Structure 1
Amino acid sequence: MSGLVVVGVDGSASSLAAVEQAAREARWRGAGLRVVHAFLWPALHVPLGPSLPGPPAGGLRDTVEHLVAEAVARARSAAPEVDVSHVVVTGEPLTVLEGQSRAAELVVVGSRGMGGFVGLLVGSTAVHLAAHGTCPVLVVREPGDDTGPVVLGVDGLATGERAVDFAFAEAAWRGTGLVALHAWTTWSAPLPPPQDAAAPYANPPGALAEEEERLLSEALAGHRERYPGVVPEHRLVHGRTREALIEASRSAQLLVVGARGRGGFAGLLLGSVSQAVLHHAHCPVAVVRNPDGRR
């Protein structure tokens, strides 16, 4: 086993969809799959066995064993060749999965869990894990278009290089196209050097767009050599990043973003664009942080 994919399960339909996706991710990587359930009740000293008036085969522990067994069976059905293990860890889901992420190359979770509040589009565990997990986190929202490309949000920062590599690898494993999307506005684009010293704020028409295209090309440089079968489509959008990515996700099978973008505030681990696509994208979303969590 060359690596490990971890999937968090809680018995919800969302987590079972995450199990199937995690099994495929493990197969593509040649990795093992670990099904993890965070068992909170023992930490709260809640009785785990059957109630006295009830049947002997009841109680919280039996319920957990059943839901984990169902998840393992779902994983083995989706990818029979994958080595599937499971573990039940006492603790709160975010803490448990964050700990599991330290030994994994990918953590997969559903967008909503059994404890989700009505009105929330993505559960708090998914959002916080994307911000704090050590490895990339894949949140399974809507199924996505199996015939569509992998869409990569490119911000041009060096800290986004890991997200670029992740997207190229996913496109190669899935045998699909890659759309590298970079959105910009006049206010977010870095100004190129002025062409006329007498008019320091004037630039030729199209100069900003050309600068953004250069930024996009530089962000992808070097990755095509490692993934020769992936020919990325450059998509430069004049508009707001979050709206452009959410629209592109309608026809995508996966959306990949970095945890932070150019407009982030210092101290925030998850940028506003990442949070927006986690809540509103029309396909699964992978959030890829820098290995050491730096900006």
Structure 2
Amino acid sequence: MNAPVIAGIDGSASSLAAVEAAAREARWRGTHLHLVHAFIWPAMHVPLGPSPLGPATGGLRNMAERLAAEAESRAQAVAPDVKVTSAVVTGEPLTVLETQSRHAQLMVIGSRNMGGLVGLLVGSTGVHLAARGHCPTLVVREPGDATGPVLLGVDGSPAGAPAIEFAFAEAAVRGADLLALHAFTPWNTPMPPPIDPKMPYAGKPGALAEREACLLSEAIAGQQEKHPEVQVKRHVARQGTREALIEASHTAQLLVVGARGRGGFTGLLLGSVSQAMLNHAHCPVAVVPGNGTTS
């Protein structure tokens, strides 16, 4: 059987939205869905069973089991033909979900989960998984535009190739168009070779924009040939990458970015662009690890 789609659940409205998204992903991928609740209370050495003075159905353990059952019901309502299982796993959420990602083809969580810090727009669980998970992580923020395209952020780096592959595959199973967006400014792009060595800072007018457009075309060419059924729109924007992607996400059903790209700093597991998208995009965000990494 194919590796499952795994969703982290905590009983919040955000996590139930993630369960619904995960059920659709499992249906599109022809695989099963596994729901995981990280049960931290045993490590806190607190009573797990019902209180002697309360109902027999009370207690933290029973609450966790009811939470898992509710999530299963929600998933089955969205995708009745998908096999759904659930588990209550002892441990803190960050560690449990990172371990689970070793056995998943996709991890799905809400934008606010247990373990998130008050005041953060996206819980620490989402950032942690996107940085250290062993498969792509889908963080369900806002619902997104169901009729919009899959939005792909392209920077042309080798680390971004898996994100391009993921985005094309998502567009194919969703029956959606793909909008491949590459943003640049003269300050975040390597300078092209000068036309005149005596004038190292002078170049042909428009040469930088042309070169960046070629970079975008070359980056997606292989997947475009592999998925001829996907209608692709290319857009090269002369503006900051974060601003361009956030703006375009208003009309997208999904945003796909690499965990780290051309502008990433060595040693950082999650790039600044992907972190910004997790906090500010207007649709669900999929963060895809680069080749040879677990970030």
Query: TM-score interval w.r.t. the shorter chain?
Result: over 0.9
Is the partner of 1:86 in helix, strand or coil?
strand
Structure 2 segments unaligned to the other structure (5+ residues): none
Question: Hey, what's the Cα distance between the residues in 1 that align with 2:269 and 2:47?
Answer: 37
For residue 184 of structure 2, what is the amino acid of its counterpart?
Answer: W
- Counterpart of 2:154 in structure 1 is 154
Q: 1:291 to 1:92 in 2, by over 3 A?
A: farther
For residue 205 of structure 2, what is the amino acid of its counterpart?
Answer: P
> Are the aligned partners of 1:51 and 1:58 in contact in 2 as well (CA < 8 Å)?
yes
Question: Hey, what's the Cα distance between the residues in 2 that align with 1:266 and 1:3?
Answer: 31
- Counterpart of 1:144 in structure 2 is 144
- Counterpart of 1:164 in structure 2 is 164
Structure 1 position 43, deviation (Å): 1.6
Question: Hey, what's the Cα distance between the residues in 2 that align with 1:12 and 1:197?
Answer: 61
> Are the aligned partners of 1:3 and 1:29 in contact in 2 as well (CA < 8 Å)?
no
For residue 31 of structure 1, what is the amino acid of its counterpart?
Answer: T
> Are the aligned partners of 1:50 and 1:58 in contact in 2 as well (CA < 8 Å)?
yes
Question: Hey, what's the Cα distance between the residues in 2 that align with 1:65 and 1:25?
Answer: 24
Question: Hey, what's the Cα distance between the residues in 1 that align with 2:200 and 2:265?
Answer: 29
Question: Hey, what's the Cα distance between the residues in 2 that align with 1:190 and 1:130?
Answer: 27
Aligned Cα RMSD in Å? Answer: 1.3
- Counterpart of 1:174 in structure 2 is 174
Q: Which moved more, 1:14-23 or 1:54-63?
A: 54-63
Structure 1 position 31, deviation (Å): 1.0
Structure 1 position 24, deviation (Å): 0.4
> Are the aligned partners of 2:117 and 2:124 in contact in 1 as well (CA < 8 Å)?
no
Structure 1 position 2, deviation (Å): 2.2
- Counterpart of 2:113 in structure 1 is 113
For residue 252 of structure 1, what is the amino acid of its counterpart?
Answer: A
For residue 175 of structure 1, what is the amino acid of its counterpart?
Answer: G
Is the partner of 1:121 in helix, strand or coil?
coil
Q: Which moved more, 1:260-269 or 1:4-13?
A: 260-269
> Are the aligned partners of 1:164 and 1:220 in contact in 2 as well (CA < 8 Å)?
yes
Q: 1:33 to 1:290 in 2, by over 3 A?
A: same
For residue 222 of structure 2, what is the amino acid of its counterpart?
Answer: G
For residue 89 of structure 2, what is the amino acid of its counterpart?
Answer: V
Is the partner of 1:102 in helix, strand or coil?
helix
For residue 16 of structure 1, what is the amino acid of its counterpart?
Answer: L
1:139-179: per-residue Cα shift (whole Å, max 9, x none)? 00000000100000001101100000000011111111100
1:47-84: per-residue Cα shift (whole Å, max 9, x none)? 11011211121000110010100000111111111111
Structure 1 position 291, deviation (Å): 4.5
> Are the aligned partners of 2:182 and 2:237 in contact in 1 as well (CA < 8 Å)?
yes
> Are the aligned partners of 1:178 and 1:231 in contact in 2 as well (CA < 8 Å)?
yes
- Counterpart of 1:208 in structure 2 is 208
TM-score where L is the length of structure 1: 0.97
- Counterpart of 1:82 in structure 2 is 82
> Are the aligned partners of 1:11 and 1:114 in contact in 2 as well (CA < 8 Å)?
no
For residue 80 of structure 1, what is the amino acid of its counterpart?
Answer: P
For residue 183 of structure 2, what is the amino acid of its counterpart?
Answer: A
- Counterpart of 2:287 in structure 1 is 287
> Are the aligned partners of 1:106 and 1:136 in contact in 2 as well (CA < 8 Å)?
yes
Question: Hey, what's the Cα distance between the residues in 1 that align with 2:182 and 2:288?
Answer: 17
- Counterpart of 1:129 in structure 2 is 129
Identity score, percent: 67
- Counterpart of 2:15 in structure 1 is 15
Is the partner of 1:88 in helix, strand or coil?
strand
Structure 1 position 136, deviation (Å): 0.2
Question: Hey, what's the Cα distance between the residues in 1 that align with 2:79 and 2:72?
Answer: 11
Number of equivalences: 295
TM-score where L is the length of structure 2: 0.97
Question: Hey, what's the Cα distance between the residues in 1 that align with 2:51 and 2:95?
Answer: 29
Q: 1:128 to 1:174 in 2, by over 3 A?
A: same
For residue 113 of structure 1, what is the amino acid of its counterpart?
Answer: N
Question: Hey, what's the Cα distance between the residues in 1 that align with 2:138 and 2:168?
Answer: 15
> Are the aligned partners of 1:135 and 1:291 in contact in 2 as well (CA < 8 Å)?
no
> Are the aligned partners of 1:6 and 1:108 in contact in 2 as well (CA < 8 Å)?
yes
- Counterpart of 1:52 in structure 2 is 52
Structure 1 position 222, deviation (Å): 0.8
